[in-house]
A and B are shown apart, each in its own frame.
Chain A
Amino acid sequence: MDFSIASILALDGVTNGAVYALLALATVLVFAVTRVIFIPQGEYVAFGALTLALLQQGQVPGTVWFLLVLAGCAAVAEVIEGLQHHQRPARIARRVLGLTAYPVAIALFVAWAAPQKWPLLAQAALTLALVTPFGTLLYRVAYQSLADASVLVLLIVSVGVHFALTGLGLLFFGAEGFRNPSFWDERFNLGPLTFSGQTLIIMLASVALIVALWLFFERSLYGKALRATAVNRLGARLMGISSESAGQLTFTLAAFIGALSGLLIGPTTTVFYDSGFLIGLKGFVAAVFGGLASYPMALLGAIGVGLLESFGSFWASAFKEVIVFGAIVPVLLWRSLRDPHAEEH
């Protein structure tokens, strides 16, 4: 290995790491606010990339139908819960409307807009608008009524949601993969390195999103409310912060980040309906570096995972996955030695 090979590998590692960083941030965010270990985070990546791919072909993406089905489930859950709590019909109807109005509207809009073959950027915006509401609805359907359950129960639900989403992904997108067109086709040469426009976009988008998240948490009222919930759920609730809306907002943010990652990664590789899982899992490994609590550590972890992956595949490509996931063992050891704690039951 010489310097040029090392630099190419490093660039490749950091590019992938930037995407893992986004997913790691989303994982940390969701865990901190709701205590859900959100395994299906990667599924949003596949949904984002494949929705854009189908829009590119002028087809109505399966995500449209999926969103309508999910909105229906959420409405049913809302009605049942309202009746159980003997709420007034007008109140139930208002809540159902508040939950489903946007998803149904955007689904119908995309179904109308899909055959028009809009320019790439407009379709990317459509994709984000379509995949983001999945967060709210998934939280409502799968997690909201279990908000006070133990971490273990929430993890089991996450595994179930993951399998359901992958199966439905196969139904709606088909078994074959897609590759999206690049957002920026330019190439720059810098010594032995070739930067593609897409690489730059991935890095810039990741940095921009991280800064935006930081501003959101530091400066906005919603962000502060989420932080308060993350620190102490009960205390936040006593202060009048609804843990329900905190959960929904968090999941919506996570869905947005996932879909954005999908748009970023779509032009650099072939995305299949089940590709998201492994990408999300690497984001999760990065999040574990930060103890599922620290954003900067998760960010470092993500870059580390990306570099480990690219150098690992250079030295021993057949064992790459083993190297990446094996790296979690020393981290877990270090974390459990540093802050030991009793098992939660």
Chain B
Amino acid sequence: MKPIKTLLATAAMLLAAAPALADINIGVSLALTGPGSGLGIPMQNQFKLFPKTIAGEKVNLIILDDATDPGKGATNARRFVSEDKVDLIIGSCITAVAAAMAPVAGEAKTVQMAASPVGLPPGQDGWVFRLPQSNDVMAHAMFGHMKKLGIKTVGFLGYTDAYGELWLKAATAEADKAGIKIVATERFARTDTSVTAQALKLGAANPDAMLIVASGSGAAMPHKAVVERGFKGRIYQTHAAASMDLMRVGGKDVEGAFVVSGPATVGDILPDNHPSKAVSKAFLTQYEKAYGANTANQFAGHAYDAQIILEKAVPMALKKAKPGTPEFRAALKEAFETMGRTVLAHGILNWTADNHWGYTMETGVMLQVKNADWVLAN
């Protein structure tokens, strides 16, 4: 009697554990530990608020930690496609990890929504769609603003990693277009305790403005160092620094800083004619109701946008195939490429078959720090 009972119980457990075929399974790989966890944890928070059903189909999210490690990310991606048979992969929020996951997604012909601006060689991003804005879009807004203020020379102080490298590329291109010169380039690591030497060297080049490429609370230290060395010009920060941590750690030294941002975290202070205003406010209300005031950031916004995209694309794909099949995965890709102009919390997205970046140039918003809060820069 007893063995049969055990067998039945085991079978029941296995049945319960195996995802039902009709459900939509989504594999999410995020940096929940390691240096990128400041980006991954807010995304996970937003995914906890994800709807249980989309277009009448049950949605299962499988969230794994990739520990900011490209190898771990690739392993996660492999598990998603071979064991969980997912219809869609989301992640990672770290560029290097997302790049390591991309070949697995392409091989399994499964759509990957990367939550980082991952750059891939042409032809290899067939199944990869990016949720964040490209740095080009952000640099466009930033250098447009510099040009308006009559800035002629810029000093660059950025991370030694891929984020700094991509920004340097985007900034060089946009500066050329705007007739601005990057007169000095200095680098630092996130773990550095002092950037005095770099600030000295940049100060000696005497640029009109300084561009600091860093993320989260790490963006305050270089900013303070530049100010402490007596730099009086304007200081610009990138969208990875667009969180309240900049003011919390930077204090009065970051007053007056210009920060480029996606519209998602800006909400109320967006101009009324900005198309994302309503969505951005909806996102902020939902997130801050769950996690407290001033906690939302850029990356939680990307998770929210993934939901908007799926709510539009899944019904289109469902018309062609059932979830859990290769046909459905192909239909999902096609839906992404043909769904057209979509208003997200982060701007206007328009993915096409040959452009998987897709944000329009109207996306970036220039903010300024005034009295430890954001105002729209003019």
Contact = CB atoms under 8 A, between A and B. Distances in A.
Contacts of B192: 269, 313, 320
Nearest to B157: A317
Interface string A50-82: 000000000000000000000000000000000
Interface stretch (A125-133, A137-145, A274-282): A274-282
B197 A310 contact: yes
B197 A12 contact: yes
A326 B212 CA distance: 27
A272 interface: yes
A178 interface: yes
By CB atoms of chain B within 10 A, which of A265, A270, A310, A318 has the most?
Answer: A270
A270 B201 contact: no
A177 B191 CA distance: 11
A174 B192 CA distance: 19
Given A270-B218, A313-B188, A314-B201, A179 B249 contact: yes
Given A170-B37, A175-B37, A177-B218, A268 B194 contact: yes
Contacts of A175: 37-38, 41, 216
A244 to B, nearest CB: 34
Nearest to B229: A8
Contacts of B327: none
B195 interface: yes
A305 to B, nearest CB: 12
B245 interface: yes
Given A5-B204, A269-B194, A176 B245 contact: yes
Contacts of B195: 313
B101 to A, nearest CB: 21
A89 interface: no
A321 B193 contact: no
A178 B195 CA distance: 17
A314 B198 contact: yes
B294 interface: no
A167 interface: yes
B124 interface: no
Looking at chain A's contact residues, is the secondary structure mostly helix, strand, loop, or mixed? helix
Contact of B221 (A12, A179, A279): A179
Nearest to B245: A176
A313 B198 contact: yes
B217 A177 contact: yes
Given A12-B194, A268-B193, A176 B200 contact: no
Contacts of B198: 313-314, 317
A7 to B, nearest CB: 11
A310 B194 contact: yes
Interface in B23-54: 33-35, 37-38, 41
A314 B187 CA distance: 10
Contacts of B33: 167, 170
A318 B156 CA distance: 12
A8 B200 contact: yes
Contact of A176 (B38, B160, B188): B38
A269 B218 CA distance: 9
Contacts of B34: 274
A170 to B, nearest CB: 6
B189 interface: yes
Interface string A159-177: 0000000010010001111
Nearest to A321: B189
Nearest to A179: B249
A306 to B, nearest CB: 9
A265 B221 CA distance: 13
By CB atoms of chain A within 10 A, which of B186, B191, B204, B216 has the most?
Answer: B191
Interface of A: 5, 8-9, 12, 15-16, 167, 170, 174-179, 265, 268-270, 272, 274-275, 277-279, 309-314, 317-318, 320-321
Interface of B: 33-35, 37-38, 41, 160, 186-198, 200-201, 204, 216-218, 220-221, 245, 249, 251
23 contacts: A5-B204, A16-B193, A167-B33, A175-B216, A176-B217, A177-B217, A178-B217, A265-B193, A268-B193, A269-B194, A269-B221, A270-B221, A270-B249, A272-B191, A277-B191, A310-B197, A313-B192, A313-B195, A314-B201, A317-B197, A318-B160, A318-B187, A320-B188
